[in-house]
Amino acid sequence: MKITKVISHVLAYDLPGELGYSQQYYTRRTAHLVEVQTDEGITGWGECFGPGNVAIANKGIVEKVIQPMILGDDPLDRDVIWHKVYNLLRDHGQKGMPIQSLSGVDIALWDIAGKVAGLPIHKLIGGTHRTQVKTYGYGMMLKRESVDDHIARFADEAAAIRDMGFVATKMKVGLGPKDDVKLCEAVRRGVGEGYPFMVDANHCYTTSDAFYVGRALEELEPYWFEEPVAPEDLDGYRELRRGLSVNISGGEVEFARWGWRQILENRGLDIAQPEVCALGGITEYLRVLALCHAHFTPVINHVWGSAVSVATNLQLLAAMPPLPGGLFPWEPMLEFDTTDNKFRDELLHEPLNIQAQVRANDGHVQIPTGPGLGIEPDRDFIKRYEVCD
């Protein structure tokens, strides 16, 4: 079997309303799918992390840089291909967009392998530790409105997500430390005592501001405080973890085993959040997962994007060993964006129907059992939303 073509599909549509987080506001939803074709008619699908113009730039890397390197290669040689591409791109970036682009290609190769074997990816990895996974819903995005309007909306939206059946919810912050504390208090009121909620800062604070918010969070008892400081600030992460009782999480913007080695040896995380569509694909994710577990750091995958990303993560969550194990082990969760996302809800011939599953199954979602990723994108849908050839 040989690789005959690698195609990037960048999709986009205008959202019903503007959304924001601590770094920017945005009005368009994008997704970057990768299709790998073979001479035996088997096609694999993957996804690259990166929105907007980043996706368009990554399309060029996938098709103009990576594709010529791997045409004619056996798609089942996933690890060989990974190292071939990484080594040739090393001089041009060991992190960032080249690795995001490699991630989508690698996921597609795993999809092909599963289809060749007639097995879901979790079986190729080593088996099923769980047939369903708990799911949390995030929302409560920032908008161009007053603090008081944010407070009222966040309380209502948090309660609505809880009532949808999700086992936990996650909010955004980024208005400034004092106002952000008010938002967190509103979410705690909205969901009530005992219901887990998480706080995502998207690395907007200095260490001192993160301590200010974190100390207030200790009273509100969130499950974790996500990306409180810049990802480069390893010392800040370590200081926060030592100085706060709330769990510190992060890592969604770290790449490959070498970057993750630094984070884990630094002991700055209570919970690791690798992003498989960015860090190097499934091949490298499995190495990162092994590093996390070698440091006894629980993993809850960062999930953002289309149904391809969601399906990929469901396969990985099925195969993730419990840590540390026991009769009642700590269990991972699937992250689910509750905002408008056609590329997740309408992309597939047979939708995953995450929200319906959550409502009907006490907050849990079933792991797909079909070959490879267990999904098949609708090509007519892709053509309708594709923005560049």
User: Under DSSP, is residue 377 helix (H, G, I), strand (E, B) or coil?
Assistant: strand
| Proportion of the chain in helix, strand, coil states, percent, rounded to 5 | 45, 20, 35
| pLDDT for the residue 325 | 87
Residue identified by tokens 């092994």 is 290
DSSP symbol at 26: E
Nearest to 175 by CA among 184, 167, 166: 184
Q: What is the CA radius of gyration of the chain?
A: 20
| pLDDT for the residue 389 | 60
Token pair, residue 247, equals 């769990």
Looking at the chain, the number of H-run helices and the number of E-run strands are 16, 11
Q: Parse the chain into domains and list their residue ranges.
A: 3-118, 123-366
Token pair, residue 262, equals 């630094």
Nearest to 269 by CA among 286, 254, 284, 285: 254
Element at 21 (helix H, strand E) = strand 3-21
What are residue 374's phi and psi, to 5 degrees? 80, 20
In whole numbers, what is the pLDDT of the chain averaged over residues?
97
DSSP string, 182-224: HHHHHHHHHH-TT--EEEE--S---HHHHHHHHHHHHHH--S-
Q: Does domain 3-118 have CATH number 3.30.2350.10?
A: no
Give 272-309 pLDDT, tens digit per residue: 999 999 999 999 999 999 999 999 999 999 999 999 99
Residue identified by tokens 């290669």 is 73
| pLDDT for the residue 388 | 74
Give 158-178 pLDDT, tens digit per residue: 999 999 999 999 999 999 999
- The rounded percent of the chain whose pLDDT value lies above 70 is 100
Encoded amino acid at 52, one letter: G
Token pair, residue 379, equals 């090509």
Burial of 353 (0-12, 13-18, 19+ CB in 10 A): middle
Residue identified by tokens 């992250």 is 335
pTM: 0.98
With beta carbons less than 8 A apart as the criterion, state whether 81 and 71 touch.
Answer: no
- Cis ω on the peptide bond leading into residue 324 (within 30° of 0)? yes
By annotation, the residues acting in catalysis are 302
Burial of 331 (0-12, 13-18, 19+ CB in 10 A): middle
123-366: CATH topology: TIM Barrel (3.20.20)
CA atoms 155, 159, 162, 164: torsion sign? negative
| Residue 16 burial (CB count, 10 A) | 10
Contacts of 24 (CB under 8 A, 6+ apart): none
Give 65-82 pLDDT, tens digit per residue: 999 999 999 999 999 999
Give 191-249 pLDDT, tens digit per residue: 999 999 999 999 999 999 999 999 999 999 999 999 999 999 999 999 999 999 999 99
| pLDDT for the residue 216 | 98
User: Under DSSP, is residue 351 helix (H, G, I), strand (E, B) or coil?
Assistant: coil
DSSP symbol at 251: -
Token pair, residue 73, equals 């290669």
With beta carbons less than 8 A apart as the criterion, state whether 303 and 313 touch.
Answer: yes
Give 26-59 pLDDT, tens digit per residue: 999 999 999 999 999 999 999 999 999 999 999 9
Token pair, residue 142, equals 């920032």
Token pair, residue 221, equals 């008892």
User: Under DSSP, is residue 339 helix (H, G, I), strand (E, B) or coil?
Assistant: coil
